[in-house]
Amino acid sequence: MSLIDAAREVRENAYAPYSRFKVGAALRTEAGNVYRGVNVENVAYPEGTCAEAGAIAAMVAAGETRFTECAVIADSPDPVPPCGGCRQKLAEFAAPGARVTLATTSGKELVMTVPELLPGAFTADHMDGA
């Protein structure tokens, strides 16, 4: 199964009663494992948590910390980029050269590297000397 297909499938499990905007994400790790996540909204935090963060949490919970590619899909006219917080999380856990495919349910795709998605990302190198 492709990452887009995995993200498309899990997207149906998103919990989005307020926005009705379902997002699915899937990551492939250096070991070849695939982890998936969805957005989750709630009354206290109607913006919810993001699909990318859910996939990263599943990956870390399984004991892995590096992904080589990611796919994100939503029902929108154009591919939806991750929010700022998710971009930082993607940068934190991305293997060198990791690609992110942003897709729509109608088939549009945009492929970017993580540095293209978040140029100038904050890294642990910024804390040298602290």
Binding site feature residues for substrate: 39-45
Write b or e for each residue in 98-122: b if 16 or more Cβ atoms lie within 10 A of its Cβ, otherwise e. bbbbbbbeeeeeeebebeebbeeee
Q: Which residues fall in the annotated binding site for Zn(2+)? A: 50, 83, 86
Q: Which amino acid is at 107?
A: G
Known catalytic residue at 52: yes
Q: Of 124, 102, 98, whose CA–CA distance to 25 is shortest?
A: 102
Strands 67-74 and 34-38: unpaired
- Of 9, 12, 52, 64, the active-site residue reads 52
Q: Which residues fall in the annotated binding site? A: 39-45, 50, 83, 86
Cite the active site residues.
Answer: 52
